[in-house]
Structure 1
Amino acid sequence: MKTQEITDCLTNGAITYIDKEEAAGDIPWSRHPKFKGVYLKHLVKGADTQGRLSCHIVKLDPRAVLEEHVHEDQWELHEVIEGEGAFFLQNKETSYHPGRLGVIPEGVEHKVASGKSGLVLLAKFFPALV
Structure 2
Amino acid sequence: MSMENDSVSRFARSAHTPAGARDVAGLAWNAHPAFDGVALKHLLRGADTGGAISCHLVRVGPGKALSPHVHARLVVGLCQSGGRRIEAAGATWHVGPGEGFVIPAGLAHACSPLHPVGHDYLSLAIAPGLLPAPGPAAASLLPRVWRDAAVAARLSRLVAALAAGFCDQSHLTRQFRRRMGVSPGRFGCEGEEGKG
TM-score calculated relative to the size of structure 1: 0.83
CA distance in structure 1 between the partners assigned to 2:109 and 2:26 by the alignment: 30
The amino acid that maps onto 1:93 is T
Assess if the C-alpha contact under 8 Å between 2:7 and 2:81 holds in 1. Answer: yes
SS in 1 for 2:117: strand
Deviation at 1:100, TM superposition (A): 2.0
**Which deviates more, 3-12 or 60-69?**
3-12
Deviation at 1:118, TM superposition (A): 1.0
Assess if the C-alpha contact under 8 Å between 1:85 and 1:95 holds in 2. Answer: yes
Assess if the C-alpha contact under 8 Å between 1:45 and 1:54 holds in 2. Answer: yes
1:57 aligns with 57
Deviation at 1:10, TM superposition (A): 5.9
2:103 aligns with 104
User: Residue deviations 1:60-110, cap 9 Å, x none?
Assistant: 111210111011x31111210100231113221011211222211111011
Q: Does 1:41 align with 2:41?
A: yes
Identity %: 27
Q: Are residues 22 and 70 of structure 1, via their aligned partners in 2, closer, same or farther at CA, if it must alter by over 3 Å?
A: same
- Between the two proteins, the alignment pairs up a number of residues equal to 126
CA RMSD of aligned residues (A): 2.4
1:123 aligns with 123
- Return 5+ residue gaps in structure 2 as ranges: 129-196
Q: Between Structure 1 and Structure 2, whose CA radius of gyration is higher?
A: 2
SS in 1 for 2:83: strand
2:174 aligns with none
Assess if the C-alpha contact under 8 Å between 1:87 and 1:110 holds in 2. Answer: yes
The amino acid that maps onto 1:81 is Q
CA distance in structure 2 between the partners assigned to 1:91 and 1:78 by the alignment: 21
Which is bigger in relative contact order (C-alpha 8 A, separation at least 6)?
Answer: 1
Q: Are residues 18 and 38 of structure 1, via their aligned partners in 2, closer, same or farther at CA, if it must alter by over 3 Å?
A: closer
2:93 aligns with 94
Assess if the C-alpha contact under 8 Å between 2:13 and 2:24 holds in 1. Answer: yes
The amino acid that maps onto 2:78 is E
User: Residue deviations 1:25-68, cap 9 Å, x none?
Assistant: 33221112222211111110112222211001111111210111
Deviation at 1:11, TM superposition (A): 7.8
CA distance in structure 2 between the partners assigned to 1:85 and 1:17 by the alignment: 28
Assess if the C-alpha contact under 8 Å between 1:74 and 1:105 holds in 2. Answer: yes
**Which deviates more, 30-39 or 7-16?**
7-16
CA distance in structure 2 between the partners assigned to 1:101 and 1:90 by the alignment: 19
TM-score calculated relative to the size of structure 2: 0.57
Pick the structure with more helix per residue.
2
Pick the structure with more strand per residue.
1
**Which deviates more, 29-38 or 2-11?**
2-11
